[in-house]
Amino acid sequence: MEALPFDILATPATRKLARDLEVDLRQVRGTGPHGRVTKEDVKMVYEGHEAATPRTSHPQASAAVPAVTTAKVPAKPTFHVERGTLQKIPLKGVRKKIAESMAHSKHTAAHFTYVEEVDMTEVVELRASALDEAKKRGIKLTYLPFIIKAILPALVEFPFLNSSLDDEKQEILLKGDYNIGIATDTPNGLMVPVIKGADRKTLWELADEISTLSEKARTGRISLDEMRGGTFTVTNAGSIGGVLTTPVINHPEVGILGVNAIRKRPVFKNNEIVAADMMYLSLSVDHRVADGADAARFVNRIVYYLSSPKRLVFA
């Protein structure tokens, strides 16, 4: 006989979590006493660590509790659509959550995007000079830690970019913490791990945490707590090759910075044409909170630090 939701052993808090995450409790294998479903059991199914397992009846109190194993998250499925055919794919799970979040953001926040270019030549040289040290430390050093380092003093100068809008209370919440979300492409869809207290971390610590959180997100080992509490988000399309993006705000945050590809091209410097490593920065902002002029000034401060990273020493 199939167990009904109210027959399943679970606390009200666990039931609420399951409803919020749209996880069917009948599909969760309980690991608590007497087969009780715990919050961790629900999270494991939601985060893809464990496949949903239909239950046919209550496990007996004396039954052994099966161990929870962590399965490798499968790669994104590839689809081949035969000519003249139509494939229907249900919008569900993480993809549905992403769709709902994006739609809510676009329908709620008054989006606008400001774009500026930055000469990354000195950052490129600085990173190249640090690669040997990074290898000794066992750290993967990308451009992202340098970019975050440049964002942080700009957020201090422009606090409305490090805020959120409480739509219900109609209050702007200026945040004294600097928790930077890193939009990450994963087999299960877009996820945003959050670097908590980014302003208190060194370049090496940022690089290490970016690598660790991104890997956990891609392999399905990221926890819900590691994706909460962001105050500003960075999305790095440039690692794939994008020249320009218009990112969607990670609501209820006020801003998201799109980091695009670094391309070597000719530019004018001191009335001469020289080769430089150039990149576009795309800032999407909630116009209800931040004005266009402040958004432009904010990006220009980031450009100020990235174009000459030694300035960060005095930031």
For the annotated catalytic residues, the residue numbers are 287
Neighbours of 262 (CB within 10 A): 17
Token pair of 235, please?
A: 């999305």
Token pair of 118, please?
A: 């930055």
The residue whose two tokens read 């209550």 is 58
Alpha-carbon distance 105 to 180, whole Å?
Answer: 18
The SS3 call for residue 5 is: helix
Task: Quote the longest CA-to-CA distance of the chain.
Answer: 83
Strands 232-236 and 180-186: parallel
Q: What b-and-e string marks burial along 288-305, b requiring 16 or more CB atoms within 10 Å of the CB?
A: ebbeeebbeebbebbbbb
Under 8 Å CB-to-CB from 149, ≥6 apart: which residues? 203, 206, 305, 309, 312
Under 8 Å CB-to-CB from 125, ≥6 apart: which residues? none
